[in-house]
Structure 1
Amino acid sequence: MTHLSTNVIITEKKDGSPYESINKVEGSETITSKHPDYIIDESKLAGGSAELLFFPKNESEIITIVKKMKEKEIPITISGGRTGIVGGAVPFGGAVVSTDEMTNVTGFGYDESNQKYFVRIQPGITLDSLDDIIKHKEISEEQNIGETSWVTKFKQDSKTYMFAVDPTEMSAAVGGAIAANASGARSYKYGPMRPWVKRMRIVLANGDILDITRDQCKAENGKFVIETSDEKLEITIPNYQMPKAKNAAGFYSEPGMDVIELFIGTEGMLGFITEVDLWIIPTVEGLPTVMFFISEEDAITFVEKLRADEELDVEYMEYFDEHSFNLLKSKSDTTPALANLKTLPPDIKTAVFFEVVSSDETLEEVILRLEEIAEECNSSIESCWSAFDEVERENLRIMRHAVPETVNGIIAKRKNEYPGIHKLGTDMSVEHKHFREMMNLYRESLEEHNLESATWGHIGDSHVHVNILPRNLEELELGKKLYKKFAKKAVEFGGSVSAEHGIGKIKAEYLVVMYGEDGVNQMRSVKNALDPLTLFCKGNMFD
């Protein structure tokens, strides 16, 4: 085990597997023609290439790959589910190391001090697979951690369990979700990946292993000391001010921070995650609902009142603006789950999706309270839609996902005429007190320049995605200028230029907008201390 003391952590040195035994593909032409999915991600960033593609099965094979690539000075791009939209998994030369074959559950235990179960897994398992394993309790006695049979107790427990973080793309790999500090609708209540990581094993750039358990090693005087088999590394954590709003941009920094935080949200730049322990919790039963409004102002007021109500336990709040709502209506004839939209009054302009925790005993009380709030916001509980069974839940899920799918379809058609065109989707958050002003800026700027758009997202976190849909290349350039304007204002309002998607290779310029050149240089110093050859994920966040 790794020795931990105050702000000092000592690495493990471990032998790797024979290089020849590792599953690999060699040659850029072969990789491009036969394995093209590994040189692109959902960002569709063009120009990806790689000379080597590895499919390790375990930590020992990763150690060997890292040491070999270091020896040959070949950069490594870590490849998880490739669901990211900022180009973080797109390689520009070098080696791609995929976690596709690292999908095992390796342990299951219970932390008595925290009174929580945790699951130990390899990084390639997807979030939806993890959900199924936990929900159906597909854990064996061989995976039990400790002398007490926690697996048996878990299976005998009548409650169902869940992993609380729910990124929109549940086919994301767990390792990638940690690397991006991913989040989703439920981040309003449960936060992003960061607090749900109990422990991690990480292969560093020299092939040593860090085994980090939360709360065992914390910074002192702004520093960590990592004693590797080669040298003693002194890591100075950045001293910039982190935003108060939801954030997934840049390296985390906080006085006295836990060393585990250094490797969450750093986009694979500091090491290769090989195993993680994640907290799980009992599943919460709620009432998924969509409430309709005649104006944006009323919808925001409704969210503010839900957020302030101490009696209501809200899981999430999601918003769709008038343009998004019109896109939904346009699909109502061809999508059965959206057919009822045609029955809504014509003055309905916006919608808020939300879920309030309830039980058979509390449901009536919850509905009465929601009715009061709705009436205060010029809406009505009678015109809302709630999901009381699985079919209705699925219809609401389809409704929530129909807008981004429709937007992607519109852009795909426009690419036929303008191949260089793409949507511009913001990922910015602000402090709650500035949200109305930020929404006004979005709307007024887009209307002034007659740009087509659709806005939706995590309004509970004051974090919505403004999607600009350019109709030609001139509008694309105009949209880029507005994007930078929005980013500067988000930072001014105590927010983030990237609240959940990260920075990757596409949004590097906005990292400077947020932290300044000095802040980015502090991140570089951390990177250089741990990975002086820039072995891991070259080009992410900064050059």
Structure 2
Amino acid sequence: MDALRRLPDATVLTDPEAMEPFRHDESHVVGCAPLAVVRPRGPAALRELVRLARSEGFGLVPRGAGTGKAGGCVPTARTVVVDLAAWPGSIRVSPQDLSLTAPASALLRDVKATAAESGFFYPPDPNSWESCALGGTLATNAGGPNACKYGMTRHWVLGLEALLADGEIHRFGISSVKANTGPSLAQLLVGSEGIFGLILGATLRLTPQPREYATLLLPVKRWMDLLDLPGRLSAAGFLPSAFEFFDPAVLADLRAHGPEAARRLPGEALAILEFDERGCTSDDFLGALADLLGPVADGLEIAADARQREGIWAVRRVTSAFLKERYPKKVSEDIVVPRSRLREFFERLERTGIPSVSYGHLGDGNLHVNLLAAGETPHEALEAQLGTLFRLAVELGGTLSGEHGIGLAKREAFLALAAPGHIETLRALKRALDPDGIFNPGKVI
């Protein structure tokens, strides 16, 4: 479109080959060919983009680093991809306010590193933390291992800058934890996947950097015994900063085909437990924890230093990429089940006969259930398996996504399983904030 090529303060791509990478993210979803890919560098480009979208009838699809897992940033029919990877801004820490400001384009690894350089901690740590953009983590309310103690991304957002339907950039929130002036519009945008507007930057809450880490590799003799442990830890007053798990099938695959470090992993199933509270490395703390674990543990290992800690975490970080390389057409779903019903979930999942393997965040019930044979499974059969999985999670008081979001990949399932009042409320908000339907059309609702 000629009008797009004349956008002020922006780079515009229209060559089909150059735009091809923007049709997909890290999910199995492949989108339509976009009308263009626009890389705005300032407000003037955004203002004109919104005006053109309204007058020409196309949608605006936000994109950061493209590491999403639900097709949230892939283009639908007649849309323009707004690539925010070069959106200007710098990362700034305010020690007095315990806060950090950063543009949507900032890589999460740089946000976390800048906080750490000042002695602070920004906890959200999705598996893609080294390559994902901050804007994407805000749009999807990203999680990660630390969420079982520190919560999701939204727990750390004080304020946002966002492009709304009037073409202007608006600021919501202040650099303080107390701002009680009605509903938080910043929080409304966090996790909205770009359907209400485009997030351009944020002010984030920080906490002091932990001084101690107790990192434990926990092999278990019997897989099902592991599933009761999150509830037992909570009831006994232990709050791990991370509690990750590998089921027997994932562990067997890692042993047989994974990196060298993974081939020596013990146990029928395996967990990684980490604590970061003051005193967690003391003999008293570790002794009480060992007493609680009791016969569940089968050769408990405790990292003696930072190198050993990193070695334990390296296997967890590589698991997703390892399975993707082994099974490139697999489908991974990030369902959530309450901790009190984890054993029931896996018992019932086994009875369904769905061929799957699981790993992920046992501490908060966020399970990455992988259907490794999805590429060879007929479409109707695969959809039936996914539907059964989602319904099981919902029936047990959980949900069909813990951290990846809905996007395109789970839209139909979300519309089928969510309460009608929930869907209608979201659609009413969409009509109020985006009356022309230009922001990320076709996603979520």
Deviation string for 1:473-506 (max 9, x for gaps)? Answer: 3466434312212212222222111111100011
Q: Contact between 1:454 and 1:467, CA under 8 Å: does it hold in 2?
A: yes
- Determine whether 1:529 maps to 2:445: no
CA distance in 1, matches of 2:277, 2:121: 17
- The match for 1:14 is none
Q: What SS does the corresponding residue of 2:65 show, helix, strand or coil?
A: coil
Query: How much has 1:376 moved relative to structure 2?
Result: 4.3
- Determine whether 1:165 maps to 2:124: yes
- Determine whether 1:503 maps to 2:406: yes
Q: Which moved more, 1:178-187 or 1:259-268?
A: 259-268
CA distance in 2, matches of 1:516, 1:122: 35
Query: How much has 1:428 moved relative to structure 2?
Result: 1.3
- Determine whether 1:391 maps to 2:307: yes
Q: Contact between 2:26 and 2:69, CA under 8 Å: does it hold in 1?
A: yes
Deviation string for 1:389-442 (max 9, x for gaps)? Answer: 232122212211343223212223xxxxxxxxx323222112233222112112
Max Rg structure: 1
Q: Contact between 1:327 and 1:403, CA under 8 Å: does it hold in 2?
A: no
CA distance in 2, matches of 1:536, 1:410: 36
The alpha-carbon distance between structure 1 residues 54 and 474, as it changes in their structure 2 partners (threshold 3 A), is closer
- The match for 1:179 is 139
The alpha-carbon distance between structure 1 residues 120 and 401, as it changes in their structure 2 partners (threshold 3 A), is closer
Q: What SS does the corresponding residue of 2:241 show, helix, strand or coil?
A: strand
- The match for 2:369 is 466
CA distance in 1, matches of 2:244, 2:410: 24
Alignment of 1:422-441 (within 5 A): 422-441=329-348
- Determine whether 1:443 maps to 2:345: no
Question: Could you tell me which of 25, 35, 38 is aligned with 2:22?
Answer: 38
Q: Contact between 1:503 and 1:540, CA under 8 Å: does it hold in 2?
A: yes
Query: How much has 1:339 moved relative to structure 2?
Result: 4.6
- Determine whether 1:24 maps to 2:11: yes
- The match for 1:400 is 316
Q: What SS does the corresponding residue of 1:90 show, helix, strand or coil?
A: coil
Q: Contact between 2:279 and 2:285, CA under 8 Å: does it hold in 1?
A: no
CA distance in 2, matches of 1:479, 1:66: 38
Alignment of 1:257-272 (within 5 A): 257-272=183-198
Alignment of 1:52-67 (within 5 A): 52-67=36-51
Question: Could you tell me which of 38, 57, 65 is aligned with 1:73?
Answer: 57
Query: How much has 1:329 moved relative to structure 2?
Result: 0.9
- Determine whether 1:302 maps to 2:229: yes
- The match for 2:262 is 338
Structure 1 unaligned spans of 5+: 1-17, 138-159, 220-256, 413-421
Q: What SS does the corresponding residue of 1:538 show, helix, strand or coil?
A: coil
Q: Contact between 1:19 and 1:61, CA under 8 Å: does it hold in 2?
A: no
Deviation string for 1:151-192 (max 9, x for gaps)? Answer: xxxxxxxxx222111111112211111111111111000110
Question: Could you tell me which of 66, 72, 83 is aligned with 1:88?
Answer: 72
Query: How much has 1:337 moved relative to structure 2?
Result: 2.1
CA distance in 2, matches of 1:110, 1:358: 21
Matched residue type, 1:77: V
CA distance in 1, matches of 2:153, 2:38: 26
- The match for 1:242 is none
Structure 2 unaligned spans of 5+: none
Query: How much has 1:516 moved relative to structure 2?
Result: 3.3
The alpha-carbon distance between structure 1 residues 43 and 103, as it changes in their structure 2 partners (threshold 3 A), is farther
- The match for 2:169 is 209
Q: What SS does the corresponding residue of 1:48 show, helix, strand or coil?
A: coil
CA distance in 2, matches of 1:37, 1:472: 21
- The match for 2:199 is 273
Q: Contact between 1:24 and 1:52, CA under 8 Å: does it hold in 2?
A: no
Q: Contact between 1:294 and 1:349, CA under 8 Å: does it hold in 2?
A: yes
- The match for 2:209 is 283
Question: Could you tell me which of 484, 499, 512 is aligned with 2:387?
Answer: 484
CA distance in 2, matches of 1:358, 1:532: 47
Alignment of 1:88-167 (within 5 A): 88-92=72-76, 93-102=78-87, 104-105=89-90, 107-110=92-95, 116-137=97-118, 160-167=119-126
Query: How much has 1:20 moved relative to structure 2?
Result: 4.3
CA distance in 2, matches of 1:104, 1:281: 23
Deviation string for 1:281-322 (max 9, x for gaps)? Answer: 111131121101111221123322222222x34101111110
Q: What SS does the corresponding residue of 2:167 show, helix, strand or coil?
A: coil
Deviation string for 1:183-236 (max 9, x for gaps)? Answer: 1111000110112110112121121333211654655xxxxxxxxxxxxxxxxx
Matched residue type, 1:202: A
Q: Contact between 1:80 and 1:175, CA under 8 Å: does it hold in 2?
A: yes
CA distance in 2, matches of 1:523, 1:464: 26
Q: Which moved more, 1:60-69 or 1:354-363?
A: 354-363
Q: What SS does the corresponding residue of 1:314 show, helix, strand or coil?
A: coil
Query: What is the percent sequence identity of the aligned residues?
Result: 23
Query: How much has 1:72 moved relative to structure 2?
Result: 2.5
Matched residue type, 1:191: G
Off by >6 Å, runs of 4+ in structure 1: none
Normalized against structure 2, the TM-score is what? Answer: 0.91
CA distance in 2, matches of 1:475, 1:188: 36
Q: Contact between 1:78 and 1:268, CA under 8 Å: does it hold in 2?
A: yes
Q: Contact between 2:93 and 2:115, CA under 8 Å: does it hold in 1?
A: no
Q: What SS does the corresponding residue of 1:539 show, helix, strand or coil?
A: coil
Q: What SS does the corresponding residue of 1:442 show, helix, strand or coil?
A: helix
- The match for 1:365 is 284
Normalized against structure 1, the TM-score is what? Answer: 0.75
Query: How much has 1:98 moved relative to structure 2?
Result: 1.0
Matched residue type, 1:268: G
Q: What SS does the corresponding residue of 2:293 show, helix, strand or coil?
A: helix
CA distance in 2, matches of 1:195, 1:461: 15
Q: What SS does the corresponding residue of 1:438 show, helix, strand or coil?
A: helix
Aligned length: 435
Matched residue type, 2:122: F
Deviation string for 1:61-81 (max 9, x for gaps)? Answer: 323322333233221111111
- The match for 1:239 is none
The alpha-carbon distance between structure 1 residues 481 and 23, as it changes in their structure 2 partners (threshold 3 A), is same
